[in-house]
Structure 1
Amino acid sequence: MQTERLARAIGGPVVRATPFTGRGYTPARRMIAELADGTTVFAKQGVNEYTAGELRREFANYQRLQGFFMPVFVGWDDDGGVEPILVLEDLSTADWPPPWTVDRVVQVLDTIGVIARQPVPGGVVELEEEWVGGGWQAVADDPEPFLSLGMCTDAWLDRTLPTLLDASAGARLKGDQLVHLDVRSDNLCFAGDRTVFVDWNHACVANPEVDRAFFLPSMVSEGGPPPEEVATVSPEMVAVVAGFFACRAALPPVPGGPGVRGVQRAQLTAALPWAVRALGLPSLGGA
């Protein structure tokens, strides 16, 4: 049945489908499908309501957007339930970071700029500002999960929270340009002379500084250079990024995504010291 649905999506026969284990953080089923001519493609299949909804959003964006920075769209099959299938070019042999070099970081930042300059077609949603920018307010409302990480003392948080809240409130999140909104190493690769971003389900209209700012802690957490060496980001946006991870990193595991909180903690480890430097805050006091 699976190969039949893949063949229907692709529009041609499929010899075999092999499970693919990547670094994705949702339980979506991933496969490499071999076609009759010996070429291969990559397929993602939903397994529950959440992953099915995300795949449908991603498919819609593939119908609206195009560019060298996206995988080549191959096909789609929607069962009307929880197992739609999206088929894309096979990038499994591309170069997936880490490790990071300054040149590679610049390639990613340049690609974010290219994406931001694309005409924005109808149907692309606007950024949900509160979801992205409300992190420090969530910490203020319930500081215990963040403090349980041991990255700072109660006294440090009491002293700095007003500044973090003010800075976050001053960040310019709205904009009229296209952003990917999930730029990190497991969502990008280097394929020849292309820098390709995958997982386009979160694409929206916003200030492209959001993409630059959220990419940098991911890169730093994997051994890349300090953000200040490769990009200029407003202190207000740095505060937003640190708050996004601060209010989430210690929450209970995400159903179906047990690795998400660990990734968020790693990015917070990079983002919080960055915010300290950017805002001129007192040094972190480890608990």
Structure 2
Amino acid sequence: MQWTPRLPWQALPDDLRRRVEERLGAPVTGVDAVTGGFSAGFAGVVRTEHGPAFLKATSETVNSHGRALYRQEHSACRLLSATRASVGFLWGLDHQDWTVLAFRAVTGSICGPGWPPGQLDAVLRLLRETRITAPAALPPVTTLLREAFDAWPALAADPAFDAWPTDATGAALLPAQRWVALAEQARHAFTGDELLHADLRADNILWSDTGPVLVDWAYACRGAAAFDPIYLLLEVARVNGRPPEAELAQVVTAYGCADEDATALLAVFGGWFTWMSRMPPIPALPTLRDFQKDMARTAIEWVGARLPDRTQP
């Protein structure tokens, strides 16, 4: 997994640490920092006499986009706290240009990047067994991730874009308008009212003694439930270097998702990550663009392998 460097606890401003300790009700006596993800800032389990809590914090200066996501997650978690979704949210605070979120600490570790035997099955089972209707106040996935569904149309309208996917012979994998049509197909197919995490990667899933726990709910939204496992399987394909077709077939069956709609969503991811990977680098997130390029390549190759006139891998 490509990671972004994190700030240590002691690097946070003194007055911010005092505010956090006030909310915790006691001084911090120990810190177990964590790594992972693409959010520049602090993340770790802090210990006090009242027990542990997981905290994450960032600022406008450190990572303005990350701070916006933390505030977005704060709003989502307040809504989800009244549902059966298990997000473990405790509290959030804004202090000057900083935002801090606190959650119940989970004893466990990030799911293995190579997806050890049993872990992927357990996560997919969790997703199937915890499907719920999303709070109506959460945005639709097609609104929250509008850039994803609009990426191929935007690239098609950009005269400077000259990197349309090709096959092994150098021929166009699909005409530009076919990519646009797939994006529109997915926009309709994945509209729905079920709760989506919408950012499932190994670093957003903890493996605890009782099984997997989903964390980082900044992109919580409403949509068709198959969105989450298909996104997760794209991450698995990127890490393992091969598309998990057997698992995707199980998802298609379990969720009643048309096979061609699953392909259309993979096409959406290919366009979205292509679009994002072409943006200027972000100094605070030095590995992000490479990750996006890898995700784009994986999604596009998987779409190519799933086209009716092509041989499956």
The bucket for the TM-score relative to the shorter chain is: 0.7 to 0.9
2:240 and 2:106 map into 1 onto residues whose CA distance is 23
Please, which runs of 5 or more residues in structure 2 have no aligned partner?
1-14, 253-258
Whether the aligned pair in 2 keeps the contact of 1:242 and 1:271 (CA below 8 Å) is yes
3-state SS, counterpart of residue 88 of structure 1: strand
Whether the aligned pair in 2 keeps the contact of 1:133 and 1:168 (CA below 8 Å) is yes
**Letter of the aligned partner of 2:203 in structure 1?**
D
Match of 2:234 in 1: 217
3-state SS, counterpart of residue 153 of structure 2: helix
Alignment of 1:75 with 2:91, yes or no, is yes
Which residue of 16, 23, 26 corresponds with 1:9?
23
Whether the aligned pair in 1 keeps the contact of 2:140 and 2:222 (CA below 8 Å) is yes
Which range moved further: 155-164 or 225-234?
Answer: 155-164
Q: Deviations over 1:189-227 (max 9, x none)?
A: 211223211111110111222222221121112127623
Whether the aligned pair in 1 keeps the contact of 2:166 and 2:172 (CA below 8 Å) is no
3-state SS, counterpart of residue 277 of structure 2: coil
Q: Deviations over 1:141-164 (max 9, x none)?
A: 33766729x976895337533332
Q: Between Structure 1 and Structure 2, how many residues are aligned?
A: 278
Which residue of 42, 47, 63 corresponds with 2:78?
63
Map of 1:243-258 to 2, 5 A cutoff? 243-254=271-282, 256-258=284-286
Whether the aligned pair in 2 keeps the contact of 1:3 and 1:17 (CA below 8 Å) is no
2:162 and 2:230 map into 1 onto residues whose CA distance is 21
Which range moved further: 194-203 or 159-168?
Answer: 159-168
Q: Deviations over 1:72-102 (max 9, x none)?
A: 22333332x3212111133474242212146
Match of 1:40 in 2: 52
1:158 and 1:141 map into 2 onto residues whose CA distance is 18
Match of 1:119 in 2: 133
With structure 1 as the length reference, what TM-score do the two structures score? 0.83
2:215 and 2:162 map into 1 onto residues whose CA distance is 30
Please, which runs of 5 or more residues in structure 1 have no aligned partner?
none
Instruction: Output the aligned Cα RMSD.
Output: 3.0
With structure 2 as the length reference, what TM-score do the two structures score? 0.77
Map of 1:92-171 to 2, 5 A cutoff? 93-101=108-116, 103-115=118-130, 117-127=131-141, 128=143, 130-142=146-158, 147=163, 156-157=171-172, 159-171=174-186
Which residue of 197, 208, 223 corresponds with 2:214?
197
Which residue of 298, 305, 312 corresponds with 1:277?
305
Identity of aligned residues (%): 21
**Letter of the aligned partner of 2:172 in structure 1?**
L
3-state SS, counterpart of residue 54 of structure 1: helix
